[in-house]
Amino acid sequence: MSAVFKALNPKSANALQFPCRQCGAVLKYAPGTTHLLCEHCGTENVIELRSEKIAEYDLRQALQQLAETPTTTAAAPTIHCEECGAGFQFEAKNHAGECPFCGTPIVATTGQIKPIQPKSLLPFGIDQANARQRFQQWITGLWFAPNAVKKYARSDTKLSGVYLPFWTFDSHTATTYSGERGDVYYVQERVQVVRNNRLVTETRQVPKIRWTPVSGRVQRFFDDVLVGASNSLPRKILDALQPWDLHNLIPYDENYLSGFRSEYYQVELADGFDLARQVMDNQIYADICRDIGGDHQRIHQVNTQHSGTTYKHCLLPVWSAAFRYRDKSYRFVVNGRTGKVQGERPYSPWKIVFACVAALLLAAGAYYYLEQSGALDNQQTHPVTIQPYPYRQPLDYNSFQN
C-alpha cells in the first residue's frame, strides 16, 4: 500500500495540543503569520518550516488500491483532552476543533477515518476582523437585497475559521474528434419591407452557412484542477471562492490547524476526478472549436485519453458564518487567503419588480424611437448555431495511459 494510505483505527485518535514554551498554555495559530500565539502570556511560538516537497500521487494506482480496500463505515473516534481530562467525539466530518468541555484547541490525526491523508495546506492569511470587514462590504453592496438585511453589515457577526478539504488533479490529455466546420457566405435575395407606410421590394445580403466535415486531434496539460471535497457548502459557492494561490501550498502541519476546525474529505477521490473531468471537458471542447475554426462548429464525436494523471489532497482556509432573515438561514464564506466573499442572500421582490418595470419602459421607449426613425428596417437577422455539448465518457481505468 502506498505511503499516502494508512490503516483505519476508528476506536481512538491521537489528539494533538500545542503548549506555550513560556507558560504552558495551549496555543492557537495566528492568521497571516508563521507562529502560534499564546493568548495567556502573549509569547509568539514560531512554527518551524518543513522542508519536504509537495508531492503528486498517481491517480490510477490510488483508485486501484481504493477499489481493493474493503469499505468500512468508521464512527468518529474518541478524543481525550489532556487539559480537562474529558473524552469526547468531534462531529463526524471534523478532525480539528475545540474541546466541548473546556474550549481547548485540539487537532486529531486523520488516519482514523479516511485512508488518504492531507499532505499540504494553505494557512489562513487574513484574521477574523479582516474577514468580517470583507463580509460587511459584500452585503452592503448586494443588489436587490432587502433594506433590513443591510443592518447585518453593522452587526458583530461571528465567523468560524475552518480548513476545507480539496482535491487537485494534473493530467495530460489527448483528444480526437470529428465534426463539421461552418463558414458563413452571403447570397442576394429580394424581400418585401414596409417603408414610409408603403410596401417596397429590396435586395438584401442574406447569410448562409456552408458545412464541411472535419476531424482532428488536440492536446492539453491540465495543472491543479481544483475540486472541493466538502459537502458542507453548495458546490457553486466552493467553486466561486477561486482562485487560490496553490503555488504557495506548504507541507501539512497540524500547528496551523490549532484554534480552527478542519474537515475530512466527504467527496471520494473517484468522484472528485469525475468533477475535475467536467472542468477539463469544457476546456477541451473550447480547444476543439478553435481547432475546427470557421464561423460555426459542430462536434459529433469526442474521445479523450488521460495520461500521467496525478492528484493531491490539501486543506484550504475559509471563514464561515450564517445570518437569519425572516426565519431563513443564509450561509456565506470568506476566502481565508484573498478575502473574496461568496454566499447565499435574500432578494427583495419589490426591488426586482420595480427594476423590471423600469427596464420594460426603457426598452419600449427605445423600440418606439427606432421604429419611428426607420432604423429597424435596415437590420439583418443573423442565425446563431447552438452547439451540442460533447458526449462525456464514463470513468474507465483503461482510459489512463502509463
C-alpha distance from residue 251 to each of 11, 127, 226 (Å): 27, 21, 18
What pLDDT, on the 0 to 100 scale, is given for residue 149?
61
Q: Does residue 209 sit within a domain?
A: no
Q: Does residue 109 sit within a domain?
A: yes
What pLDDT, on the 0 to 100 scale, is given for residue 279?
96
Instruction: Please enumerate in sequence order all residues whose Cβ is within 8 A of that of 266, keeping only pairs 6 or more positions apart, or say none.
Output: 93, 165, 229, 230, 231, 232
What pLDDT, on the 0 to 100 scale, is given for residue 111?
62
Q: Does residue 389 sit within a domain?
A: no
Q: Does residue 225 sit within a domain?
A: yes
Q: Which residues, given as ranges, of the chain have pLDDT below 50? A: 1-3, 7-12, 348, 380-391, 397, 402
Q: Which helix (H) or strand (E) holds 362?
A: helix 349-373
Count: domains in the chain: 1
What pLDDT, on the 0 to 100 scale, is given for residue 275?
96
CA distance 129 to 134: 9
Inter-residue contact 118 to 167 (CB < 8 Å): no
What pLDDT, on the 0 to 100 scale, is given for residue 377?
54
Q: Does residue 393 sit within a domain?
A: no
Considering only the C-alpha atoms of the chain, give the largest distance between any 2 of them, rounded to a whole number of Å.
Answer: 96
Q: Does residue 54 sit within a domain?
A: yes
Instruction: Please enumerate in sequence order all residues whose Cβ is within 8 A of that of 41, keeping only pairs 6 or more positions apart, or say none.
Output: 20, 22, 23, 25
Note the pLDDT tens digit of each residue in 97-128.
776 555 667 777 666 678 899 999 999 999 99
Q: Does residue 257 sit within a domain?
A: yes
Cell numbers for 77: 473516534
What pLDDT, on the 0 to 100 scale, is given for residue 346?
56
Ramachandran class of 73: left when φ > 0, alpha when ψ lies in -120 to 50, beta otherwise:
beta
CA distance 342 to 69: 37
Q: Does residue 167 sit within a domain?
A: yes
What residue ranges in 75-159 does DSSP mark as E strands?
79-80, 87-88, 94-98, 105-108, 120-121
Enclosing domain of residue 72: 15-175+216-346
